[in-house]
Structure 1
Amino acid sequence: MSSPSERLAQILAEGRVIATRELGEACAAELHTHAKERYLALEATMPRFRSSTNRKLFELGPPVLAIYQALLHDLGVDREPALRLAEGMLLAFYRTQLNRSPLLGAAMDVVFRLKPARSLLMITLRADEPEGIRFDEASGTGALLAFDVHACPIVAFARRHGAPEIVPMICRLDDLKVKELHGIELRRTGTLGTGAERCDFRYVTAKK
């Protein structure tokens, strides 16, 4: 499992071409420096999770926030362009990760299609920590896997730093991940990151 600082380095590396195209070579180099400085300033405010579940869920929050803060406050990029650029860099990193894990889709297929594997997944996701994820399983939905998230560590962290607008770009990675599955769709009506009262995850068999 990678740490947030390692994820920051990876996002900056994979997103360098996009940053250079949008900002120019000199400003892209400045972004690299300022994002690392912003991250160091954020470190003292990060929750120290014991569980691997919360550490994994949280790992992209601080690096995305650091990049966004650097764009806004150090490079003077306006809010919407800063969000678009941060998301472009994040997507470049994430697609590379998916390409490097060709067996991920097959492994996830097994988890979603076998009831014992789904039950084990829900057990491993539970992590009783004050600032961590809180969710309830949702029964009777007809979904292969269904749960409602009521508290998310990334949402809490972003709000604490006055930047809740960064969360939706991280939420959208769930849609990319599910595309690696065969015959399974993710249906959600809302997320905490977009202002909903819950993230209602419903993984269902795709219609042919």
Structure 2
Amino acid sequence: MQPVRRRITEILRDKGSATVAELAEQLGMAAVSVRHHLDILASEGLVELNGLRRRGGAGRPSQMYALTEDAYRLFPQRHDILTDHLLAELKAALPEAVVHEVLQRVAQRTVQEAPAQTEDQTVEERLAQVTDFLSSQGYEARWVARNDHYELHACNCPYAGVSGRHPEICLMDQVILQQLIPGTIRLESRVLDGTTHCRYLIPAGKKTNQTPDSQPDNNA
């Protein structure tokens, strides 16, 4: 991130909110320059207006700026460590079947956030929709068509810092795909076993052969 904008996010993180004048004073910059950087941060979804501050006298109130929830991803986080500890405690306290049930319910929450399937969707249309959704969840997913089946590739594991110690977490991916894609889904390979991506096989079903993505991926 550009250094001035990075510093603005740090100030807003520490103060909670600030006016343009306060930011300008702390940065040693002109207010017009600060507004320029705030506009860019706002366009990126990192900063938002957070009310008005009135000072003494009859002057106009000053707008307050604050970080959005998304902005906190810019700073160090410990989600993988927290998840690791939570799973370890669950596995220590609960029977294996109950742990699996909890993971399935977590997966179901993800499914509820996905775009709804329509009755007239082809398999290709649904795969395109699902891979877009999975990519938004961190999977970097794509799909390719083979002669008699489709393949869905998850090229990134969002749980890479956790799945090695808790392979049960992969159960969530299978539940998500079984809910989102019609037909029988078969896990063919996974990153946890040393491959470059998780690969799922899906029956061909109804094909249109009209989308660019439906052509075989010779690099896969």
Q: TM-score when scaled to structure 1?
A: 0.42
| Structure (1/2) with the larger helix percentage | 1
| Structure (1/2) with the larger strand percentage | 2
Q: TM-score when scaled to structure 2?
A: 0.40
Q: Which has the larger radius of gyration?
A: 2
